[in-house]
Structure 1
Amino acid sequence: MSEEIVEQPILPLEIIDKSVGNKVKVLMTSDKEFYGKLIGFDDYVNMVLEDVVEIDNEGTKSDPVKKMLLNGGHVAMIIPDVVA
C-alpha cells in the first residue's frame, strides 16, 4: 500500500511571517508602493518596515525612511523578496 502525500495549506500570515527580516514590496489601496525590510507585523497586518523607499506611479523613488508603520487596513498586496 502506497502512502499518499497530502499537502497542507499555507495560511497568509505564515507567508508574511516567513518574510520577516527580508525585503518586501507593499502595494497600498491608494496606489502607493513601498519597498523595505519587514521587521514585524500583527494579526491585522499592520507592519513595520525599515529602510523604506516609496515609488510613485512614474517610477520616482523617494529618499529612504529609516522606519515606517503601515496600516494593515490599507494594504492591498505584499510581495516577498523583491529588489527595489
Structure 2
Amino acid sequence: MRIFVLDSLQMSLTGPQLLPLELVDKCIGSKIHIIMKNDKEMVGTLLGFDGYVNMVLADVTEFEFTAQGKRITKLPHILLNGSNIVMMVPGGEGPEI
C-alpha cells in the first residue's frame, strides 16, 4: 500500500481544496444524480441537506433496478437518508434509459 503525503507547497500549487460538504452545498439548486445502496438511483434538484447528508430533492425521477427490469417513478419531492447514499454526481442525468 502506498501513502501519499502532500506538503503545503504542493497544496498551494493546486489551489484551494473544497471539503465534501462544501461541494454538496455548491450543488443546491442544481440537478444531482444520487446512487443509493438498494439498487435505486435518483435524479432531481437538490433543495437542501444536513450534516448527515440527508437530502431533500425536487422534481425527482427514481430509477429502480429489479430482476424484471427497470422501473421509473416520478416524484414531486423526496427526503433521502444520507446513510443510504453511495455516490453523488453533480449535474448528472441518471442512468441511460
TM-score range for the pair, normalised by the shorter chain length: 0.7 to 0.9
Question: Which is helix-richer, 1 or 2?
Answer: 2
TM-score normalised by L of structure 2: 0.74
Counterpart in the other structure of 2:75: 65
List, as ranges, runs of 4+ consecutive aligned residues in structure 1 with deviation greater than 4 Å: none
C-alpha RMSD of the superposition? 1.7
Question: Which is strand-richer, 1 or 2?
Answer: 2
- The 3 A distance-change label for structure 1 pair 54 and 10 is same
Return the alpha-carbon distance in structure 2 between the equivalents of residues 5 and 32 of structure 1: 37
Larger radius of gyration between Structure 1 and Structure 2? 2
Identical amino acids, percent of aligned pairs: 40
Where do 5+ consecutive residues of structure 2 fail to align? 1-9
1:16 aligns with 2:46: no
TM-score normalised by L of structure 1: 0.84
Where do 5+ consecutive residues of structure 1 fail to align? none
